[in-house]
Amino acid sequence: MRAAVIGSGSFGTALANVLAVNCEQVGLWGRDAALADAINTRHENSGYLPGIPISPRVQATTSLKVALEGAEMVVLATPSHATRDVISHALPYLPKHAPIITVAKGIENETLLTMTELLEDCLPEEYHPYIAVLSGPSFAKELAQRMPTVVTIASHWDKVAVRCQKALQTETFRSYTSNDVVGVQYGGALKNVIAIAAGIADGLGMGHNARAAIITRGLAEITRLAVRKGGNPLTLSGLSGMGDLVLTCTGELSRNRHVGMELGRGRALQEILADMKQVAEGVKTAKSARDLSRKVGVELPICDQVYAIAYEGKSARAAVVELMTRQPKSELV
């Protein structure tokens, strides 16, 4: 079997390494020719996963045509804000009848579309039955190091989810299938915003009680939005919901939590982002969450405060006071 991964950042490379267990060849597309060359000759992605061996079956290239040639499975692993542009360039070479799996965890700012909705928007209808999403607690570094990782693969079409599950099954990588494409994607995208909030609390030195409260109430608001958009509430207590939320709000490897910690320490967003090479999807998704909240009339109080701190210069301490002194309510409302 031959697979293609579009996006040679940390997660694309890590997933290419997983696919290389069951595939004879994995084409890995990226924009950086020097990086592609290094992956092919030294079998290491020194820019994103330094020191971690990458299978020689992974063949990096800057040509979408070469990466996608003969692929029986396509993974899209560029950040969500780049997905529309990348898929439009990939379309002429995109194989028919091959699953197309998005792993980006974000909601597009301008359209408020999830990644599978965006793919349906960009691709001709004949591709739609092959669209799937992979999400769940999966730091790229641990995945690449072949540490045990378990995720959810969702598709409207069961057969497609099962095909992806089989291709990715290894001794250290396991997945569960789902048809709740909506719940899986809102869980994956919104947990990044809540992780920024958890980081802010940590940056302010607010302790374990505050972090647990953010995770729990964060899950409540993610679930509220996902259910309003047609998701199954049980999905949000699964791997792509609570599982990924806990990982990202507590894990030292999280880029979103890192952004939050620096915001909590009083640094400005642009200054924090300028120091980062990798994407923190929650920054852009905070804006989508705020707009979605207004559009569909669902309260997302923690996401709203993250937006205000990151984009409007609100003081993190003032945001905490505002959250704590909201109108008293019942927990289950």
Ligand X SMILES: NC(=O)c1ccc[n+]([C@@H]2O[C@H](COP(=O)([O-])OP(=O)(O)OC[C@H]3O[C@@H](n4cnc5c(N)ncnc54)[C@H](O)[C@@H]3O)[C@@H](O)[C@H]2O)c1
Ligand Y SMILES: O=P(O)(O)OC[C@H](O)CO
Q: Interface with ligand Y includes 175 (CB under 6 A)?
A: no
Does 47 count as an annotated binding residue? no
Q: Which of residues 115-154 bind ligand Y (CB under 6 A)?
A: 137-139
Q: Is 280 exposed, middle or buried (0-12, 13-18, 19+ CB in 10 A)?
A: buried
* Count, residues near ligand X per rule CB under 6 A: 26
Residue whose CB is less far from ligand X, 80 or 116? 80
Any catalytic annotation for residue 284?
no
User: What gap in Å lies between CA 282 and CA 138, rounded to an integer?
Assistant: 16
Q: Phi and psi dihedrals of 30, rounded to 5? A: -150, 165
To the nearest whole angstrom, how small is the minimum distance from the Cβ of residue 297 to ligand X?
27
Does 136 count as an annotated binding residue? yes
To the nearest whole angstrom, how small is the minimum distance from the Cβ of residue 97 to ligand Y?
29
To the nearest whole angstrom, how small is the minimum distance from the Cβ of residue 85 to ligand X?
6
- List the structure tokens of 321: 């006071």
User: What gap in Å lies between CA 145 and CA 299, rounded to an integer?
Assistant: 39
Helices (H), the chain: 10-22, 33-42, 64-68, 80-90, 115-122, 140-144, 158-168, 181-203, 207-228, 244-250, 255-264, 269-274, 281-296, 301-312, 316-324
Residue number, nearest CB to ligand X:
9
User: What gap in Å lies between CA 16 and CA 54, rounded to an integer?
Assistant: 8
Q: Which of residues 66-125 bind ligand X (CB under 6 A)?
A: 77-80, 82, 85-86, 103-106
Considering the candidates 141, 159, 191, 284, report the single residue annotated as catalytic.
191
Closest by Cα among 293, 286, 289 to 310: 286
To the nearest whole angstrom, how small is the minimum distance from the Cβ of residue 247 to ligand Y?
5
User: What gap in Å lies between CA 296 and CA 178, rounded to an integer?
Assistant: 25
Q: Phi and psi dihedrals of 175, rounded to 5? A: -135, 155
DSSP bridge partners of 60: 28
Q: Which does 243 bind (CB under 5 to 8 A by kind): ligand X, ligand Y, none?
A: none
What's the DSSP call for residue 237?
A: G
Q: Interface with ligand X includes 31 (CB under 6 A)?
A: yes
Q: Residue from 255, 284, 287, 290 that binds ligand Y (CB under 6 A)?
A: 255
Closest by Cα among 158, 216, 164, 156 to 182: 156
Q: Binding pattern to ligand X, positions 264-293, x when CB under 6 A?
A: --------------xx-x------------
Q: Interface with ligand X includes 8 (CB under 6 A)?
A: yes
To the nearest whole angstrom, how small is the minimum distance from the Cβ of residue 96 to ligand Y?
30
> From the annotation, which residues make up the binding site for NADPH?
10-11, 31, 48, 105, 140, 255, 279, 281
> From the annotation, which residues make up the binding site?
10-11, 31, 48, 105, 136, 138, 140, 191, 244, 254-256, 279, 281
Active site residues: 191
